[in-house]
Structure 1
């Protein structure tokens, strides 16, 4: 039986993202719960939640797949706001 190989980076590279710079659809709390943030470092399929070399959290909603993983796993412990982007904004899946 042949194994299927999927390169996630290649799949994501063909998607189109329209970012609404003035109105982000995800806003983190000023002091997000560290344990909740670390969950998303591991679970966000787009890899938007990261820690730098000093361990400081960073997040950018550009490139969001709008899957809701952060909302489901962490909700109010991490997020000030989560909504779908306004019409015409956000991700457009281009292949598959």
Structure 2
């Protein structure tokens, strides 16, 4: 007889389906940017791209990430992941931004 509790089976919806439950009121301009593009061009790890759960930061051909701010979940992981402190991250102005449907 096993002394370990049985691990429950949990099925979650795919990330893409869960992202559709998030409403984003577009303020019309990005609340995300990079401070110095040349710093990004020299970065070899692309931590801002790797850590983003919503695919907001995308690797650019010139080494500077492309930013799809409309997908942002406002978790601010990108600014903490950047080892160069090169991410500009502010809350969207005028009360715009993300609204979560659940929670």
Normalising by structure 1, report the TM-score. Answer: 0.75
The structure 1 residue matched to 2:69, chosen from 54, 57, 61, is 61
Q: How many residue pairs end up in the alignment?
A: 92
Q: Distance in 1 between matches of 2:85 and 2:90?
A: 16
TM-score by length of 2: 0.71
The residue number in structure 1 matching 2:44 is: 35
Question: Is structure 2 residue 18 aligned with structure 1 residue 18?
Answer: no
Separation in 2, partners of 1:8, 1:25: 23
Structure 2 residues not aligned, in runs of 5+: 1-7
SS in 2 for 1:72: helix
- Bigger radius of gyration, 1 or 2? 2
Runs of 4+ residues over 2 Å off in structure 1: 3-6, 32-36, 54-57, 75-78
1:7 to 2:8 alignment = no
Of structures 1 and 2, the one with the larger relative CO (CA 8 A, separation 6+) is: 1
Change (3 A) 1:27 1:69: same
| Conserved 8 A contact 1:17-1:92 | yes
